[in-house]
Amino acid sequence: MLAGYDDEHGTELVRTAEALVNWHGDVKAIAEELHQHPNTVRYRMRKMKAVLGIPHEDDKVFINLLSLVFLPELGVRQGNGFTPHSNGEGTFCLLRRFAAAYATSPD
């Protein structure tokens, strides 16, 4: 979803999401890495949540969810080996499924 949004709108939400995970949400460090103002990083985080359908999610929870999204790139443990994540949906398939489940679950 985010990669598609980036392609369509010329944004860098995926790159920002990766930086959010790598820097554990440290907006100042992320802004320095991306050569952006910290408010731009905050705006992108709000935009990511809106695109994914979870606009009111707490920032810390959202960053933790993003961390889970990047786990499939490391491979999914099966038996004694690792099988790479290759369902063809891209990095954000896990978050897309979570967002759909979250949106339909009762509070």
65 close to 98: Cβ distance less than 8 angstroms: yes
Claim: this prediction has a pTM higher than 0.75: no
* pLDDT range class, residue 1, cuts 50, 70, 90: confident
Between residues 93 and 86, the one the model is more confident about:
93
Query: For the residues 40-63, what does the mean pLDDT come to?
Result: 93
CA gap 107, 99 in Å, rounded: 14
**Mean pLDDT, all residues of the chain:** 78
Asked if 17 and 95 count as a contact pair (C-beta separation under 8 A), the reply is: no
Q: What are phi and psi of 77, to 5 degrees?
A: -70, 125
Which pLDDT belongs to residue 96? 60
Distances (CA, A) of 30 to 16, 70, 88, 98: 8, 17, 28, 25
Work out the pLDDT band at 80, boundaries 50, 70, 90.
Answer: very low
Banded model confidence at residue 40, pLDDT cuts 50, 70, 90: very high
